[in-house]
Amino acid sequence: MNFNQMMIHFCAPTFCNIKPGNLFFVQNKIFSKSSFEAWKNDFLKLGLMIFSHKLSETSTAVLVVNVPWASKILSNAFVKEYLADKGYDESDIFAFLKELFSRMNQNRGFPHEVGFVLGYPVNDVIEFESHKGHDCKFCGYWKTYSDVETAKRCLCKYKACMGMCEAWYGKGYTLSQIVAAYKKLSAA
């Protein structure tokens, strides 16, 4: 899979507006700075932001975020308190991301609070940490500790979205055409 295909595959639920953020990791030999910049410009037109963060000599994290949606999640009183307890100074999305990427560099274990920006249920983010990733009730795109049925519905919705977007991309659709086609299909 090349970098552009990875962007379509991993980020479709965010650019189709059914998920506030997506995160994936790419080998540096596949990561394309020029493609990244082109995607950045396309995403800005949709009100999305894309960030890359080199984790090592071999790997880069790519995060696509619907900033207003993620900001709303971070403004939740419980989430703010949780993040303050974890040492985050404020719930501003950009300060949060800066601190998050800093923690990724420190190799103190993966900062699971990224789950908030990815749209994972607050309870599941917290339970994942307290259970150290074990004893979940269901594992899809995240480990679920409470509402299994909702997690299964999300999984199906995300997979369907990804499949459609990959098919449209394979037919030569641009990002804006993919988003328009998805909106039209989901409105029907």
- Please give the structure tokens belonging to residue 95: 């300060």
Q: What global pTM score does this model have? A: 0.91
Sign of CA dihedral 86, 68, 30, 8: positive
Range(s) of the domain holding residue 69: 3-187
Cβ atoms of 112 and 129 closer than 8 Å: yes
d(CA 9, CA 94): 25
Convert the pLDDT of each residue in 47-93 to its tens digit.
Answer: 899 999 988 899 999 999 999 999 999 999 999 999 999 999 876 89
Convert the pLDDT of each residue in 84-124 to its tens digit.
Answer: 999 998 768 999 999 998 888 886 667 899 999 999 999 99
d(CA 38, CA 18): 22
What's the number of domains the chain is made of? 1
